[in-house]
Amino acid sequence: MDFIHNLLWHQDKFLGITWNAWKGIGFLGNGIFFSRFLVQWYATEKRKQVVVPQAFWWLSLVGSVITLTYAIFYLKDSVIILSAAFSWIPYIRSLIIHRRHKNAQTTCAGCGQKNPPQANYCPNCGGKLI
The least CB distance from residue 51 to Zn ion, in Å, is 22
- 29 DSSP assignment: H
- What number of other Cβ atoms are within 10 A of residue 43's Cβ? 17
Nearest residue (CB) to Zn ion, 78 versus 124: 124
Q: Which of 24, 77, 124, 128 touches Zn ion by CB under 5 A?
A: 124
Nearest residue (CB) to Zn ion, 53 versus 127: 127
Number of residues that bind Zn ion (CB under 5 A): 8
The least CB distance from residue 116 to Zn ion, in Å, is 13
Residue 35 has phi, psi (to 5 degrees) of -60, -20
How many CA atoms are closer than 13 Å to the CA of 110, on its beta-carbon side? 11
How many CA atoms are closer than 13 Å to the CA of 112, on its beta-carbon side? 0
Residues lying near Zn ion in the complex (CB under 5 A): 108, 110-111, 113, 122, 124-125, 127
